[in-house]
Structure 1
Amino acid sequence: MRPRPAGPPLVEQVDRGTVLVTGTDVNWVLLREGDALTLVDGGYPGDVAAVEFSIATLGLRPQDVVAILVTHAHVDHLGAVNPFHARYGTPVLLHPVEVAHARRERREQLTPARVVAGLWRPAVLPWAVRVARAGAGRDVAAAHAQPFPTSGALDLPGSPVPVPTGGHTSGHTAFHLPASGAVITGDSLVTGHALSPATGPQLLPAWFNHGTDEEMRAALSALAGVDADLLLPGHGPAHRGPLRAAVDRAAGAPPGGGPRTTRGRR
C-alpha cells in the first residue's frame, strides 16, 4: 500500500450513499441517508480535520453524524470519537466485547517498545514517523463508548449489519451493507498496508494483531459467508469482486510484512 501523502483526504464515493475516505494510512467510511450520516471509524487523532473535511465534501456538517460505529478500538480508528462526542454529542458504538477496550479498561495495543524493536526494517521508520505525527502515540480512551445490539441491522443510516470478526482485537466487528453489496472489514481483511509488500486482499502484518493467526483466519471464515462484492477495508483501496474470493486469497497467504510473530500486542 502506498502511503497517503499529507494534505486533504482521498474521498471516493464507492456506491450510492457509501463513501470511502483515506486519511493518514487508514480509512473511514461515511454512510448517507438524506441529510443523516453514520461514520464508521475515525482515523488517527490528527485526522479529525480530515474527517470533518470529508463530511463537508458531501455538503453536510459534523452535526449530521447520527453515530460513530467503530470496528475496533485502536488509535488509528478512534481519532474522531472524542472530539465529535465533546463538540456534537455524537454517540460512539462498538461491539459489547470491544467497549472495555475503547474505555481502556483493558488494552490490546501495539506498544512503543515493539515499534522500536522493528525500526531496523526499512519500511517501519517512515511509517512510524508518519503515524506518530498523526497522533499514534496518544492514549485515546473513549469513556463514553456504548455497545450496539449484536443481532440484525442497526437503526442507523446505511442500516449496517454487524459481523463479529474477533481476532485483530477481541471484539473486532465488520459491517455488512446489504443494500450496496458491500462490507466494511476494518482490520480483519485489508487490501494493503505501508508495511506489507503485497497488494490486494490480505491479513495485516501479524505484529498488529492481538489474537493468533488462527483467530484471524477464523474471522476470515466469518466474512466468507457474507454476500458482498465490494470490500471496504481499514487499510488499502476498495476492492471489487466476490468477497469469498477475496477471503480465499487472504487465507492462502501469510500475513504480510512486519516483524514475524503469531501473537502481537498493540
Structure 2
Amino acid sequence: MEAAGERCFQMQRLRQAGIEVARGVFRFGDGHVNWYVIEQEGALTVVDGGMPSHWPALMDWLTKRGQGLDAVRAIVLTHGHADHLGIVRRLSDATGRPVSIHPDDEALAKGARLHTPPRRIRRNLWKPHVFALNLNWARAGLFTVPPILHAECYTDGQRLDVPGSPRAIHTPGHTPGSSCLLLADRDVLITGDALVTLDVVTGRRGLGIMPGTLNDDPEQAWDSLTALAGITATTLLPGHGEPYAEGVPTALAAARRHGIDWRTPAAGAHGHTH
C-alpha cells in the first residue's frame, strides 16, 4: 500500500504549470489530469480546469506573463466530469465569463451526479493504486468541486468565437456531451477524455478511449472514434496522460489496437494488474 501510495503521490506532484506544448497552447495540471490555455494576441481561452488545487498554477503563470484574470476571455469544457471542473466555477465567478459546454453535458456540469465516481473506480477502490489515486484526488479537492452556474452551449461542428477559434467535434460515450476541440491553425486536437494516453485506474500508458466502464457508454465511446477519422492534426492533447505528437491518424490506429478495455497491451508490463 505504501509503495503504491508513494508512487501515486509523486505523480500528483508533477506540476505542468503553463508549459507550451504547441504554438500558443499551454499545458497545466499534474501527472494524472491535464487542462490547457490557448493564447491569441494576449487573449486567453481556458479549456477544462483540472483540480481545485491547480488554481495557484494559473495565477502564478499569469503573474509571470504580466497578465491578470481579465486576459481570460473564455472558458470551454470538453465534458462535465468533476476532474475537469476543478477551477472552472472559481474562474467563471472571478471573470464573469460563462462556461461553454455541449448541451448533453450541461446538467452534469451543473451538479447532476457530479461527484459520483465511475463504476470502474468504485469497483477497484480496494486496489492500492486506485485507493491512493482517490486519496490524492481528495487532497486536491476533487470531491468538493462546485458545479458551474452559467453555461453557453456549443454544437457539433461549431467554430467557437473565442481566442484560438476551436472547432467542436462531438464524441459521445465517455459522457453524453464529450467533445474534442480542433485548433486547425495550430495543428492540434484537444481530446478531453475521448482519447487519452493514460489509464488512470491501472497507470498503464498507451493510446485509447478511457478504458471500459470509465465511460458512461463504452461502445458509444469506441464508435465515436469515427468522428475523428478525417482529422490530420499532428499534436494530440489528452485530458489524461502525456501529449502525443505522431498525428491523430496514428493515434486512432493505436486506440483501435488496444480495444475498449486496453486488453492488448499487457498490464503487467506497466507494473500493474487489471
- Shorter-chain TM range is 0.7 to 0.9
Greater CA drift, 174-183 or 244-253: 244-253
Mapped partners of 1:131, 1:64: distance in 2: 29
SS in 2 for 1:124: helix
Match of 1:232 among 237, 247, 255: 237
Identity %: 33
Unaligned runs of 5+ in 1: 261-266
Greater CA drift, 181-190 or 60-69: 60-69
C-alpha deviations, 1:28-48, integer Å up to 9, x for none?
111101110000001112222
Matched, 1:71 2:81: no
Mapped partners of 1:130, 1:243: distance in 2: 31
Aligned to 1:45: 52
Counting only pairs closer than 5 Å after superposition, residues 47-196 of structure 1 correspond to structure 2 as 47-104=54-111, 106-107=112-113, 110-111=116-117, 115-138=121-144, 140-196=146-202
C-alpha deviations, 1:152-209, integer Å up to 9, x for none?
3211111100010111000011000000111000001011144234323122232321
Mapped partners of 1:112, 1:153: distance in 2: 31
Mapped partners of 1:114, 1:197: distance in 2: 14
| Cα shift at 1:114 | 6.5
Mapped partners of 1:57, 1:259: distance in 2: 42
Mapped partners of 2:100, 2:52: distance in 1: 18
TM-score by length of 1: 0.87
Aligned to 2:3: none
8 Å contact kept, 2:86–2:142: no
Mapped partners of 1:227, 1:259: distance in 2: 34
TM-score by length of 2: 0.84
- Please, what is the CA RMSD of the aligned residues? 2.6
Amino acid in the other structure paired with 1:241: E
C-alpha deviations, 1:74-132, integer Å up to 9, x for none?
1111111111122221221101221122123x437643886454222232111111111
8 Å contact kept, 2:120–2:214: no
Higher relative contact order (CA 8 A, sep 6+): 1
Mapped partners of 2:238, 2:120: distance in 1: 24
Aligned to 2:30: 23
| Cα shift at 1:250 | 0.9
Larger % of helix: which? 2
Matched, 1:33 2:18: no
| Cα shift at 1:230 | 0.5
Distance 1:99 1:259, change over 3 A: farther
